[in-house]
Chain A
Amino acid sequence: MQATSFTPDTPIRFSVIHRLLHLVVMFGFTGLAVTGLSLGLSSTTPARGFMWLIGGASHAAMLHRYCAVVTYGCVVIHALWFLYYKFGLAGAWTGPDSIVPSLKDLKDFKHHLAYFFGLEKTPPRFDKFSYMEKIEYWALFIGMNTMGITGLVLWYPECFTRYIPGFFVNLAQTLHFYEAVLAVVVKFFIHIGMAHFRPETYPADTSIFTGRSHKK
């Protein structure tokens, strides 16, 4: 199933800091999802049951904000790492190891679609990050920051309404809820599905935990 060998020259894909951040974000995100959806879907039975389990809506709110701080902390650390990568290591903004989308990704997408429909025999050779992973990364970037900003507005409405109109808080609440639903569905079903249930990587794509990529 997995054609992997752990020789010293198996390329390192994720350094320790990224593996650590992913681990923390995994748990933080799950906490955010469970506490947040218990409020957003409060009229359902599992939501009320969960609130009973953790001792009421006030505790859920506290847990939610706690996880939010931790998760967004990871975003901040990641941003700081990027500054180190760019200015400390003089890393390249573009190129085959970059997370920035390029024309090759468009070509890869077309090639991959052709492969789905049987028009190509083999899948495309991806660079360090495939187009799908880049989409997920940048969607997450937009998503986390949206959730962070709207979440902050919802956390301190008295402070924010000194500068923005009141109904912006309602807008923030709407965006926060729908972005949450999108993020949860994509992460829990699509992301986990693609990382666990694809025959190429079944039972699990462990490269984010081991740091090594698969040698093909």
Chain B
Amino acid sequence: MNRHILQSGFRKIYPLYFGIVLATIALILIGICGKAGAAMLPPSGAGSDWFIDMNRFALSAHAALKCDDCHGSMIVNGLQHSDEKRPDFLRQSATRTYDYARCRRCHELSFKRYLEGGHAKALREEKDPSKEKKQVTGGKIMAPTCGECHASHYERSGLSRVAVGQRMLGACASCHPANAASYRNNIHGRVGIDLGNPKAAFCTDCHGAHTVDSLKKPQTALLACKRCHPKAETEFTGIVIHASLESVSAADAPKRAEVLWIHRIRWFALAVLALSLAFFVAHSFLWLLREIHEKLRKH
């Protein structure tokens, strides 16, 4: 190999080579930015439920139903709808005045599974004034009925696994924001929500649809993990999915300790990164300045 050519030839084509590399990177970035579709989460619930958008309703899963199929005659116990004399007039959420038992007519199985789960238990506790309320979400949020998670008038059917998963995250995040955020940082959230891969696990894949299992016990968690990781064993469930302090309950001391360790290692890694970069950048910058100065003086 004639090394001479390598040396002098390289110098000649260097501007061209550099230009080509830059142009390629630029084109890739432009093309990629153009094509990439953002992981769309549905817009939040802000909007009116007094006005029904009939175009969206016509596309929904309930489009074939008429108003009174679900809402009945709107006269209950002699009181007519929009009665100003009701004590809770304009103050109650629509999801509390509607009787969701009516959904059983078509959704019997889901309703029964919901009754077995934690959300129904929370609803019973909310309605029972004597019971002490267990704070799962750490806020003043109401326990969910069907209407809190499913948009009764606009929910579409036949969506892909990824689309359902992405919408599901939006619904769960409205009461469990810390878990949603930590899930999005975890590999399952990244692959499922950001990158739209159907192989990832979404909320109900582990926590059960309507039964909302808590997965605190390793045996329950292992059953959930084994669905995609058949070779997993008990300690595998020790991997923390919701790795933030807000996601772990105050009572679970060992898990909190683990999450704290994760944060400490994170800060350590960040510090090493910052210090190393500070040294390398400063060193290189000073070196460059001095070399350019010396080179200028030689001419």
A and B touch in the complex (CB under 8 A): yes
Is A11 positioned at the interface, with any CB of B under 8 Å from its CB? no
Tell me the chain B residues, 204-218 only, with Cβ under 8 Å from chain A. Answer: none
Tell me the chain A residues, 11-52 only, with Cβ under 8 Å from chain B. Answer: 39, 42-43, 45-52
Q: Is the CB of A190 within 8 A of B284?
A: yes
Q: Quick check: which of B28-36, B104-112, B122-130 contacts chain A, the rest being far away?
A: B28-36
A204 neighbours in B (Cβ, 8 Å): 10-11, 14
Q: Is the CB of B240 within 8 A of A57?
A: no
Is A70 positioned at the interface, with any CB of B under 8 Å from its CB? no
Beyond A48-B195, A53-B32, A178-B270, whether A165 also contacts B265 by CB under 8 A is no
Give the CA-CA distance A45 to B289 in the complex, in Å.
35
A212 neighbours in B (Cβ, 8 Å): 3
Q: Is the CB of B272 within 8 A of A165?
A: no
Q: Is the CB of B29 within 8 A of A46?
A: yes
Is A127 positioned at the interface, with any CB of B under 8 Å from its CB? no
Q: Is the CB of A56 within 8 A of B190?
A: no
B29 neighbours in A (Cβ, 8 Å): 46
How does the 8 Å CB contact mask read for B2-23 relative to A, with 1 for contact and 0 for none? 0110110011001100100000
Q: Is the CB of B291 within 8 A of A161?
A: no
Is B58 positioned at the interface, with any CB of A under 8 Å from its CB? no
How does the 8 Å CB contact mask read for B261-299 relative to A, with 1 for contact and 0 for none? 110011001101100110011011011111110110000
Give the CA-CA distance A185 to B243 in the complex, in Å.
26
B14 neighbours in A (Cβ, 8 Å): 203-204
Beyond A45-B38, A49-B33, whether A165 also contacts B235 by CB under 8 A is yes
State the interface size on chain B (CB cutoff 8 A): 63
Q: Quick check: which of B78-86, B150-158, B226-234 contacts chain A, the rest being far away?
A: B226-234
Beyond A45-B38, A166-B237, A170-B239, whether A199 also contacts B291 by CB under 8 A is yes
B10 neighbours in A (Cβ, 8 Å): 203-204, 206
Q: Is the CB of A198 within 8 A of B287?
A: yes
Beyond A158-B233, A199-B291, whether A46 also contacts B32 by CB under 8 A is yes
Q: Is the CB of B7 within 8 A of A6?
A: yes
A199 neighbours in B (Cβ, 8 Å): 291-292, 294-295
Tell me the chain A residues, 49-98 only, with Cβ under 8 Å from chain B. Answer: 49-53, 56-58
Q: Is the CB of A39 within 8 A of B35?
A: no
Tell me the chain B residues, 93-107 only, with Cβ under 8 Å from chain A. Answer: none
Give the CA-CA distance A133 to B286 in the complex, in Å.
17
- Tell me the smallest distance from the CB of B59 to a CB of chain A, in Å: 27
Task: Give residues in B with beta carbon < 8 Å to A.
Answer: 3-4, 6-7, 10-11, 14-15, 18, 29, 31-39, 184, 187, 190-191, 194-195, 197, 199, 229, 231-233, 235-240, 243, 258-259, 261-262, 265-266, 269-270, 272-273, 276-277, 280-281, 283-284, 286-292, 294-295
Sample 18 A-B pairs with CB under 8 A, ordered by A number: A6-B4, A6-B7, A42-B190, A43-B194, A45-B32, A45-B38, A46-B29, A48-B38, A48-B195, A116-B289, A157-B239, A164-B235, A166-B238, A178-B269, A181-B273, A193-B288, A204-B10, A204-B14
Q: Taking A158-B236, A190-B284 as given, write out 15 further A-B residue pairs in contact, using a Cβ cutoff of 8 Å, ordered by the A residue number.
A: A2-B11, A43-B39, A45-B32, A48-B194, A52-B35, A53-B32, A112-B287, A117-B286, A161-B239, A166-B237, A174-B262, A186-B276, A190-B280, A198-B291, A204-B14
Task: Give residues in A with beta carbon < 8 Å to B.
Answer: 1-2, 4, 6, 39, 42-43, 45-53, 56-58, 112-113, 115-118, 132, 139, 157-159, 161-162, 164-167, 169-171, 173-175, 177-179, 181-182, 185-186, 190, 193-194, 197-200, 203-204, 206, 209-212
In the A-B complex, the 5 residue pairs with the smallest Cβ-Cβ separation, listed nearest first, are A166-B238, A49-B32, A178-B269, A49-B36, A42-B194
